[in-house]
Amino acid sequence: MAGLLRRRLPLLLLLAAGGLRAAERSGGSSSAMEELATEKEAEESHRQDSVSLLTFILLLTLTILTIWLFKHRRVRFLHETGLAMIYGLIVGVILRYGTPSTSGHDKPFSCSQENRPFTTLLVNVSGKFFEYTLKGEISPGKIHNVEQNDMLRKVTFDPEVFFNILLPPIIFHAGYSLKKRHFFRNLGSILAYAFLGTAVSCFIIGNLMYGVVKLMKLVGQLSDKFYYTDCLLFGAIISATDPVTVLAIFNELHADVDLYALLFGESVLNDAVAIVLSSSIVAYQPTGENTHAFDAAAFFKSVGVFLGIFSGSFMMGAVTGVVTALVTKFTKLHCFPLLETALFFLMSWSTFLLAEACGFTGVVAVLFCGITQAHYTYNNLSVESRSRTKQLFEVLHFLAENFIFSYMGLALFTFQKHIFSPVFIIGAFVAIFLGRAAHIYPLSFLLNLGRRHKISWSFQHMMMFSGLRGAMAFALAIRDTATYSHQMMFSTTLLIVFFTVWIVGGGTTPMLSWLNIRVGVDPDQDPPPTNDSFQVLQGDGQDSARRNRTKQESAWLFRLWYSFDHNYLKPILTHSGPPLTTTLPSWCGLIARCLTSPQVYDNQEQLREEDSDFILNDGDLTVTYGDTTITANGSSGPHTATTNLDSRRTKSSSEEALERDLGAADHEVTSRGTRLVFPLEYNA
C-alpha cells in the first residue's frame, strides 16, 4: 500500500498543480474581465462628460446666434439671459423625459451606529476596497426616487463650480468696467442703497417669510423644520439684485446716466453685501439649548462677523490690486504684453481664491480688486495689454453669465431635491415687493434731504421696478441644499429669477416710456445743462483753465479721498500724477526719487489719464446759450464763443495741478474772453 502511494504521489502532485493552474487561469480571467468592465465604465463616463459640456457649449452658441438675430431685428422684449434660460429649460425637458435610465438601482446600507455622515467612505466588496464620496442628504420619502440617469447626474454641477470659476469673472468685470465719473458722483446714495437698503430688505423679507412659515405650519403644509434664521438667510439671498436685463436695455437705449449709475452701483455693491450678510446669519449661534432663539450676544457677534469679513475682504482685494500695480510699474513687463496680460489675469482671479482660503468673501475681494486694478494698474499696462484685459474679462463675463442662466433653466428639471410650496412661493413674491418698496422709497426721501439734484419719483419707480434677481441669488441658494428648508428656498429662488428676468426685464422699455425717462443720452457724457444752470459772461480771460464739474458733483466722501490719492498714491503706484518730489517733504527726497517713475518727469500730460473717466475732458464741454454756442474745441465765429481748455499746460506745484484736475475754490472756467460760471451742485 505504501509502495502504491509512493508510485502515485507524483501523479497526484501533478494533478494538484494542474488544478491550481486552472484555478489561477480562471481567477486571472475573472480579474481581466473586471478590469475590462472598469475600463469600459471609465470610457463611458468620459463620453458622458464630453456630451454634458458639449450641451452647454451648444446652448451658448445657440444663444449667441439668437442674440445677433434679436439685435438685428431690434427686439427688446427678451434679453439674452432670458433667452439662455429658455434654451436651458428646453434641454432640461429633453434630458429629463427623453433619455432612459442608464444605471441600476442603488442598494441602501444601514450605518445606525454612526451619528454623523462621512465625506468619504471606503467600502469592502469581496476583498476589494471602493471609495465613495458624499453627495448630500436624501429624505426618507425619496429614498427610492434617487436619480438613476447618469446623464442627468453629469449635467448637475458642484455648487463650488459657480463660486470658484463662474462668479469671479462676472464680479471682477463689474468693478473693472465701472464708470467712475457717474459712480462717484452718486457714491453716497449708492452706498446707502447697497448697505442700509439691503439690510432693511433682508430683515423685512425674513420677518414676513417667518410669518408665512408659521401659516404653513398652521395649515399643515410644512413637513419639516424651518427656523427663523432660515427665513433671514432667505431674505439675505433674495436681496441680491442683478438687474442685468434692465442695465443692458439702459445701455442700448442710452437712458439717463444718473439712473444707470444708481442701479449699476447698487447692484455691484449689493451682491457683496448680500453674500457677507448671509455668512453673518449662518454664523449666528446663540448659546443654550435653543440654538435658533434670539440672543443679544450672538446678534452682536454676527454684526462683528459682518464688519470683519467685509473689511477684511475689501482690504485683501485692494492690496492685491496695489501689489499688481507695483509689479507692473517697477518691472519691464510692458515690453512683453502676453506675459503682462497673463499676470494681470492670474493676480485678479487669485484674489477670489485667496479670500475664500483665508475665511473671507471672494466676491467682495475680487470686486474691489477690479476697481483698484482699473484705477491704478490699468495706467501701467501697455496699449496691447489694456485692450486685451478689457476684452478678455468682457468675454469671460458674457460667457459665464449666460452659462449660469442656461444652467438655471436646466436645473428646473435636472435638480433632484426641488420642493415647491405654493404658499411659500406666493408669500416670497409679496415679501420681495414690500421689501423693495421699503428699501427704495424711504431711503430716497432721506437722501433727497441732502441732495441738490433730487432723485425724482420716476427714478424711484424705475428703481423699484428694476429689482431683478439673477446669478448671485441663484449661486447663494444652490450653495447649500442639504436641508428641507434650503431646498424649498432654492426652488423658490429659481422661480423668482425666472419671473423677474422674463416679465420685469421684458417690461423695461414700456416702463421707461410710461415714466417719461430720458433716453438717447450718451452714457459717457453729461447731459447738456439748461439755460438757467450757468451764465455766459464776456470779459478778459486767462490762459489757465480749471476743470471742476466732477468736484462739484461728486460725493463729499470721494472729494475727501481724492486729494490724498492724487498727490501720493497715484505717483507711487502708477506712471501718472505729480512727482513725489513736489508733494512729499524735502527730507523724503531720496524716497521720493526712488518711488517716482521717470515717465512722470517726461510726461507732459500727466493729468490726462486715459482711464480717468471721472475727470471732465475737453470735449465734454459743449453747451448752447441762446444764439451763442460754446464748445471746448470748436472754432470761433460770429455766433460762437470758443473755450480752449489748455489742459496740457503743466503746473509747478501739485496744488495747482490738482486745482486744474478737479477745480479751484472759485468755480469758474475762463478762456479767451469767455467765462463760464457754474453753480455748485452737491450730490450725496
Strongest mean pLDDT among 105-114, 467-476, 630-639: 467-476
What are the tens digits of pLDDT across the range 295-333? 677 778 888 888 999 999 999 999 999 999 999 998 888
pLDDT at 189 over 80: yes
What are the tens digits of pLDDT across the range 59-69? 999 999 998 98
Please give the pLDDT value at position 532: 36
| Number of Cβ within a 10 Å radius of residue 414 | 24
Mean pLDDT lowest for which of 227-241, 254-268, 517-531? 517-531
Please give the pLDDT value at position 28: 54
| CA–CA dist 363, 48 (Å, integer) | 32
Mean pLDDT value across the chain: 76
DSSP state of 631: E
Section 18-23 average pLDDT: 47
Which residue, 668, 176, 155, is CA-closest to 377? 176
pLDDT at 634 over 60: no
What are the tens digits of pLDDT across the range 530-550? 333 333 333 343 343 334 444
What are the tens digits of pLDDT across the range 223-242? 888 998 899 999 999 998 88
pTM, two decimals, is 0.76
What are the tens digits of pLDDT across the range 578-610? 888 888 888 887 888 888 777 776 654 444 444
Q: Which of the pair, 242 or 194, is modelled with greater confidence?
A: 194
Please give the pLDDT value at position 12: 40
Residue 89 — pLDDT band, cuts 50, 70, 90?
Answer: very high
| CA–CA dist 116, 104 (Å, integer) | 27
- Residue whose cell numbers read 473671507: 360
- Residue whose cell numbers read 415679501: 431
HEC profile for 139-174?
A: CHHHCCCCCCCHHHHHCCCCHHHHHHHHHHHHHHHH
Mean pLDDT lowest for which of 100-114, 452-466, 546-560, 565-579? 546-560
| CA–CA dist 643, 635 (Å, integer) | 9
| CA–CA dist 664, 671 (Å, integer) | 15
Residue 176 — pLDDT band, cuts 50, 70, 90?
Answer: very high
The contacts of residue 234 (CB under 8 Å, 6+ apart) are 205, 206, 209, 428, 489, 492, 493
Relative to beta strand 628-631, strand 640-642 is: parallel
Please give the pLDDT value at position 563: 80
Section 267-280 average pLDDT: 89
Which residue, 514, 369, 407, 421, is CA-closest to 55? 407
Please give the pLDDT value at position 159: 81
Please give the pLDDT value at position 415: 85
Please give the pLDDT value at position 344: 95
What are the tens digits of pLDDT across the range 375-427? 999 989 999 999 999 999 999 999 998 999 999 998 888 887 889 999 999 99
Section 493-522 average pLDDT: 86
pLDDT at 566 over 70: yes
What are the tens digits of pLDDT across the range 360-379? 999 999 999 999 999 999 98
Neighbour order of strands in the sheet with 674-677: 535-538, 674-677, 668-671
What are the tens digits of pLDDT across the range 420-451? 999 999 999 999 999 999 999 999 999 999 88
pLDDT at 158 over 60: yes
Rg (C-alpha) for the chain, rounded Å, is: 32
The contacts of residue 26 (CB under 8 Å, 6+ apart) are none
Distance of CA 484 to the CA centre of its chain: 28
What are the tens digits of pLDDT across the range 641-683? 333 334 333 333 444 443 444 343 333 333 333 333 334 444 4
Neighbour order of strands in the sheet with 640-642: 622-625, 628-631, 640-642
